[in-house]
Amino acid sequence: MNTCIIGASGYSGRELVSLLLDHPKVTLGAVTSRSLDGKRVEDCIPKLRGRKCALSFSNPSIEELSEGDCDLFFLALPHGTAAEYAVPLLDAGKKVIDLSADFRLNSAETYEEFYGQPHPAPEWLARASYGLPELYELSWEISPLIASPGCYPTSILIPLSILLTEKIVKEAGIIANSMSGISGAGRNATEKLLYCERNESAGAYGLPKHRHLSEIEEQLSLLSRRHPKEVVLSFHPHLAPMSRGICTTISAPAEGELDREKVIDCWRRIFDHRPFVNLLPEGEFPDVAHVTGTNRIDLSVHADPRTGRYVLCSAEDNLIKGAGGQAIQSMNVCQGYEEEEGLS
């Protein structure tokens, strides 16, 4: 399969370049960037030097991309812009995996509420597949468009959704706190992301309605079979002084008897055959340092009899399991490759 990355100059796009170059079953045929047009990829991404990457960044038109020989397009573009590429590519018979937020929601109204603009292609919202292989069946027959989940939602949906479905936790009173590395804010030269602003500093942002909250609540409602009744939770994202990674702690009230083994048994039943979900032994806590550079998500659960709550913990690399690696995982599933192909 011949692939193309559109918008390969950002952090997620760069990870995709590196991962796809190493993938044994696909060819990376093109990488695009308006700002880096004409420059050699290995000159702009120095860690690729010596890997015989002959590619240069290009800036073709949408028409040229649609008429070209690439079969699958990864869109590492901002929301709003991604749809401008996705729709004509899909109309041309191409397959698309979108890493932006443009097709993650089912509701155009919710998209406008949280993203501050009308949805550019609402006719595709119900047709896109949500690209979380641990929780959804994926295939190109179901949809040629996969909406790759956000980094924060991935860290919350994997540990929490099945516990809502199985009525192990209550739907009311859930609180999720997440810490993200600075790369989650994108590759922008803004004052708040300067080294002197972020080093030795941590703080909340995007409260009380971070954009990813819309995706988290909608997916929890769908996965727990409560839709259209909404699952509502408090979500508190923080920027931490690290380059990459997400650490999430979820406090969820128990439904019935508080029993840690019920959670572990439920997770094992769903995730034992999933190669990238790792359940930690009792007493251990997920740590971003242990998952950096991998497509793995580490989970743990702790019962708190004093409050009658479960404390669910997860850690992932926001640029791999939270972005490029998960997109490749979805591609592998849809192509019939081994799910772990090209990933670790």
**Residues 174-193: tens digit of each pLDDT:** 999 999 998 876 666 677 77
pLDDT at 31: 94
Within 13 A of 116's CA, how many CA atoms are on the CB side? 4
CA 12 to chain centre: 10
Give the tens place of pLDDT for each residue, 9-40: 888 888 999 999 989 999 999 999 988 888 88
Averaged pLDDT in 10-residue chunks for the chain of 344 residues: 91 91 92 89 84 84 91 93 94 96 93 92 94 95 96 97 95 95 73 74 88 93 77 94 94 95 96 96 95 97 96 97 96 96 93
Of the candidates 70, 151, 313, 334, the residue annotated as catalytic is 151
Q: What is the pTM of this model?
A: 0.93
Match 């997860």 to its residue by tokens: 314
pLDDT at 230: 84
Q: Are the C-beta atoms of residues 284 and 276 closer than 8 Å to each other?
A: no
313 is catalytic: no
pLDDT at 248: 98
pLDDT at 53: 77
The answer for residues whose C-beta is within 8 angstroms of residue 94's C-beta and 6 or more apart is 66, 70, 71, 72, 73, 144
Q: What angle do CA 324, 326, 330 make, to 5 degrees?
A: 115
CA distance 111 to 97: 19
Kindly list the structural domains of the chain, giving each domain's residue range(s) and its CATH number in brackets, ordered by start: 2-148+323-335 (3.40.50.720), 152-316 (3.30.360.10)
CA distance 160 to 188: 32
The rounded radius of gyration (Å) of the Cα atoms in the chain is 20
Beta strands in 140-241 (DSSP E): 145-147, 175-180, 203-204, 234-239
Q: How far is CA 175 from CA 45, 56, 92, 251, in A?
A: 39, 45, 43, 5
Q: Are the C-beta atoms of residues 174 and 234 closer than 8 Å to each other?
A: yes
**For residue 108, what are the β-bridge partners?**
none
pLDDT at 52: 67
pLDDT at 68: 87
pLDDT at 202: 86
In this structure, what DSSP letter does residue 231 have?
P
The structure tokens listed for 60 are: 């073709």
CA 172 to chain centre: 25
CA distance 260 to 304: 9
